[in-house]
Amino acid sequence: MKKYYTRACNFYYGKQSKILVKSKKTFPLNGNDNISFDCLEIISRKNKKLINIKEINKLSKSLKKKINKDLKNITKKKNFLNLKLKNFPILMGILNITPDSFSDGGKFNKKKIAYLHAVNLIKNGSSIIDIGGESTRPGAKEVESNIEWKRISQTLNQLKKKNYLISIDTRKSEIMEKGIKYGVKIINDVSAFNHDCNSIKILKKYKIPFVLHHMKQNPETMQKNPKYNNVLLDIYDFFEKKIKLLRKNGILHNNIFLDPGIGFGKNLKHNITLISNISIFHSLGFPILIGTSRKKFIKDISKVNDSKERLGGTISSTLFCMMQGVQVYRVHDVREINQSIKVFKNFLFN
């Protein structure tokens, strides 16, 4: 039986969106009448078709049932801890306490500097701080648990009293559990809990929120000629399958972010396809998190106009995803990204 996927598209914003939602000409995205849509792209492995929401009743009975199920996920209000997702976008500030991360390795791996940077991330507009002690850049080798924990433990301890929303970027169940005892509230595992067989047990034991992240293979090998049948639909299927597996293992809460993993086992074409069609993941029923900050695809596109911090490319990709209703952004330059969002929202939603 042919499988279909539903992508919300043709979005409206602000006052216009609210008027259209009220007159039932558009559907609100995630229950938010500040952003709505009136078209759906119905996609299969062989073709795709764009329809107006008025045409749903003209579809076959089985397809209409599928589309309406997806629409329920696309339009329902989504929750994640106490974050006000309706006031998207939400920023997750990156704190790499490593000597070798791809962009800021060695910059914050001194304990006091790391703590002060975490405080600044919050002051500049982060709702979440994502702390990592192991680089997962392309080609990176695995770090032993004791070294990874040593890098991050003091900073986590210093932040315990601050009551910040802390995410821990790790692939190891041992680090996850230690981090939880130090006040970590979110697990962000780039391997989608495939690297360590005990990590799912940690999720179940503590019922902790987490990021479900897509990565092909592992950091050492992920950029060696990655291939997909259809990158967009393959990753959608990956999320769907993984969520079913987690449910089967007793993880029943909905505090889950979906991250398609830009740059993790993807070439330029893959990354562009994912960013261009990111709204497809709304139909899975969970908030979307994306990390485009300083990624190599910006260099690949800008070529001679590349820069060290790739701020222009980060901002433009963030705003493009924002127009598709993506709720959470993992970024380095929180102040600048927050500034761009505030200015853009002032025009977009008025």
User: Mind telling me the catalytic residues?
Assistant: 295, 330
Partner residues linked to 49 by β-bridges: 42
Q: How far apart are CA 269 and CA 72, in angstroms?
A: 31
Specify the residue for token string 């119905």: 42
Contact at 8 Å (CB) between 198 and 204? no
Query: Residue 28: which of 253, 281, 282, 278 has the closest Cα?
Result: 282
Torsion angle defined by CA atoms of residues 75, 187, 239 and 201, in that order, rounded to the nearest 10 degrees: -120
Q: Which helix (H) or strand (E) holds 204?
A: helix 199-206
Distance of alpha carbon 25 from alpha carbon 10, whole angstroms: 12
Q: How far is it, in rounded angstroms, from Cα 199 to Cα 245?
A: 13
Are 264 and 214 in contact by the 8 Å Cβ rule? The answer is: yes
Closest-CA residue to 288 (of 327, 242, 236): 327
In angstroms, the CA 65 to CA 131 distance is 42
Radius of gyration of the chain (CA): 20
d(CA 127, CA 93): 8
Say if residue 89 is preceded by a cis peptide, omega within 30 of 0.
yes
Query: Percentages helix, strand, coil for the chain, rounded to the nearest 5?
Result: 45, 20, 40
Measured between alpha carbons, how far is residue 82 from residues 79, 113, 211, 279 in Å? 8, 28, 16, 23
